[in-house]
Structure 1
Amino acid sequence: MASIREIVQDAFRQGYLCVEAENKLRHLLLSCTADDVVLFTQLQLAIMDGRVTQEAREQFYRRQAMTTVAV
């Protein structure tokens, strides 16, 4: 299983956080170190700044757009 560090590094390298990696992060954060929390916080800030795109958020917006069009 990938570590928090590996998932965060991959997300920064790709500029993208897929749903699978996000789910792994949730699981890993249940028993993480202070360093892991720092890395996760850096990732969250990058997502908020738009430096990393979050797949789950894209899927949400797509569903919202489809619902709006269908109405």
Structure 2
Amino acid sequence: MTRSYRQDPLHGLTLQILLTRLVERYGWEDMADKININCFSNDPSIASSLKFLRKTPWARQKVETLYLHTQWPDADD
């Protein structure tokens, strides 16, 4: 069964938004430590990483999981 929009914490967030926020939070080096894929450690860029993640479901899942488990500051702060 698919998740409804209200229950999906990633609803409305594109992969580009997720990746950009994670890179701003951790940087490429920490991203490569957290998720061991070449596009984060070997000449990383948003464009090349998006290309890889869009065609590699297991890697995309790891990025989404990291995003969901990251502690984000409240928007009101």
TM over 0.5: no
Specify which structure has the higher proportion of strand.
1
Specify which structure has the higher proportion of helix.
1
| Greater relative contact order (Cα < 8 A, sep 6+) | 1
Greater Rg by CA: 1
